[in-house]
Chain A
Amino acid sequence: MVLDNTILLGIRLISPELILICTGLFLLLLDILIKRKETVAFAGLIGIFLSIWVNLKLSSLGLSGNVFSGMFVFDRYGSFFKLIFYITAILTILISLRYLTIQKGGIGEYYALILFATAGMMFMASASDLIVLYLGLELMALSTYILTGILRGQIRSNEAAIKYFLLGAFSSAILLYGISLTYGLTGTTNINEIASSLQALNLLKSPMLFLGLIFFIVAFGFKIALVPFHMWAPDVYEGAPTSITAFMSVGPKAAGFAVFGRVFFEAFGSLHLEWSGILITLSILTMAIGSILAIQQTNLKRMLAYSSISHAGYAILGIISATPEGVSGMMNYLLIYTFMNIGAFAVLIMLNSEGVRGEELSDYEGLAKTHPLASFIMLIFMFSLTGIPPTAGFMAKFYLFMAAIKAGYMPIVIVAVIFSVVSAFFYLRVVMYMYMKEPKGEVALSTSGSLNLALIITAAVTLLIGIFPSVFLEIAKASVGGL
């Protein structure tokens, strides 16, 4: 085999991922040479922006298609998810700088691992072969396990990493089992070929295939923390460094949804009736357990963990409805969720200073009197997570639920709205603590330029999408054309 045009096209189309991986390797070396960790973070940001630029350039050239013998696909569906991953990585780096100095975890591998995890997620979103999907998933997962335990001196962080690793390894094994069953029946791991051989070999009624399908749901459900595969989420989210919790609750979750969509629509699209039945049950359970258990939490990180579980329950409605509107509604939801969730974690990080965790609900008592601006920003995120207009969270839920109703899933939307009302209790409780209680003492805010920048971006976008939703929805709508 010589270097011919198809290989060159392939290398061009994976160049955004290659740039991220090369930057990651470069950061590992830079970390050894340079003492200032801010420089390492800055170099990482430059790598991400370079990768975004190349990705936009490729999209504007109108390049798309399957490369590397159908292993990798560059399309608008994947590109939209990559946008989410880029935003997640940038915001995570911005909110990490100061936090890591306070927690004494400022090691350079941190930023390299974020880049590797982002590259893994991008491979997941672009995989058109189950093996590439698995490799991307492992690259993402292994990096996240290490990031979870990166505060080596803290027992919570170690505990979270071990829990995440053990359960994650288990779910990877289940995914591999699902892949092997599908391969055994269809004779291929290519997602498009699976769909055609399901028809050609008359496998639609095969119980073995159904078992494989269930394994896929379990493995992907673990990544997006669907009930009953959510057990790891609260402990891991609480123990991990807050910046990594923000990253995990958004990036890997969106990647999980990306592969959910890709595999279930393209490979198992003809089995929609079967898998949508399972997913409806899981979705209702997820919304119920996520919202109800969040009420009990007094630790804000744990509360946000349960809230992120319930949000996965809403977003999966897009997969269930399986219409272009449903999928674009889901993608829109995930994009908006990225901003509001990372924003909420950024406020948590701001309250974290030397010796003060700033994670308990009582730390927020009377915050509006001492720090009105910080409280107002937190108020925006809490309103948005509840879904109150004119914030972005309302638009996200509105379009998603509308699409699900149009697809004929009225009863489950009613359930979703009910639990959305339940969730208002614990989101607005934070607001109540901030605005209607007397301050207990002086709370020091640890602000920094990059953290403020992240807060301004997330708060501004949360409000802007809420007021002018159509612009963003159009992007998401155009992106599902490929599926």
Chain B
Amino acid sequence: MPGTYIPINYLPILIILFVTTLIGLGPLLIGIIIRPKRPYPQKLTPYESGNPPIGEPRQRFSVRYYIIAMLFVVFDVEAVFLYPWAVAYGKLGLYGFVEMMIFIFILLVGYVYAWKKGALEWE
């Protein structure tokens, strides 16, 4: 009954959550407590025997990556939807077919739009 519902079947998941947290954090905590601490500048660099680091890692990078990423998400979602549709095709029948064609058509419009706007060119 909703409102008084206690998800008892999910109890193992809760236990797993606790156990994994313990396994993950436990060794780190033990390490912090028992390891010797003798830091010196060379030891604190990211690559002790590599190149000396130049500048900050947080730089601005080209906005074009965002466009590529967005296009990727759009077409990735399309693929994600296509798989279950293909598996359940027999049950969905004509209705499912028409729905999927409409979905693909809308994405196609987006594709043509992105293409013509030059979003796929890197220059």
* A contact set with B: CB distance below 8 Å: 1-3, 7, 25, 28-29, 32, 184-187, 197, 201, 203, 206
Contacts and interface: CB of A to CB of B under 8 A. Distances in A.
A29 B113 contact: yes
Interface string B64-80: 00000000000000000
B37 interface: no
15 contacts: A1-B95, A1-B96, A2-B93, A2-B94, A3-B95, A3-B98, A25-B109, A32-B113, A32-B116, A32-B117, A185-B3, A186-B3, A187-B2, A203-B3, A206-B3
Contacts of B3: 185-186, 201, 203, 206
Interface string B85-110: 00000011111101000000010010
Nearest to A203: B3
Given A1-B92, A25-B109, A32-B117, 9 more contacts: A1-B95, A1-B96, A2-B93, A3-B95, A25-B106, A29-B109, A32-B116, A187-B2, A197-B2
Given A7-B95, A32-B116, A201 B109 contact: no
Contacts of B94: 2-3
Contacts of B117: 32
B112 interface: yes
B61 to A, nearest CB: 19
B19 to A, nearest CB: 27
B110 to A, nearest CB: 8
Nearest to B112: A29
Contacts of B2: 184-187, 197, 201
A114 B109 CA distance: 18
Interface of B: 1-3, 91-96, 98, 106, 109, 112-113, 116-117
A187 to B, nearest CB: 4
A369 B17 CA distance: 76
Contacts of B109: 25, 28-29
Given A187-B2, A201-B1, A201-B3, A28 B113 contact: yes
Contacts of B91: 1
Contacts of A29: 109, 112-113
Contacts of A25: 106, 109
User: Lowest 7 CB-CB distances: which A-B pairs, in order?
Assistant: A187-B2, A32-B116, A25-B109, A28-B113, A1-B95, A201-B3, A185-B3
B41 to A, nearest CB: 41
A2 B90 CA distance: 11
Nearest to B96: A1
Nearest to B1: A201
B77 to A, nearest CB: 15
B114 to A, nearest CB: 10
Nearest to B92: A1
A248 to B, nearest CB: 25
A206 B4 CA distance: 11
A203 B1 CA distance: 12
Nearest to A31: B113
Contacts of B96: 1
A134 B90 CA distance: 31
Contacts of A201: 1-3
Contacts of B106: 25
A364 to B, nearest CB: 40
Nearest to A186: B2
Max chain B C-beta neighbours (<10 A), residue from A2, A7, A186, A197: A2
Given A185-B2, A197-B2, A203-B3, A2 B95 contact: yes
Contacts of A197: 2
Nearest to A188: B2
A200 to B, nearest CB: 10
A202 B92 CA distance: 39
Contacts of A206: 3
A28 B92 CA distance: 31
A184 B93 CA distance: 34
Contacts of A1: 91-93, 95-96
Nearest to A3: B95
Contacts of B92: 1
Contacts of B93: 1-2
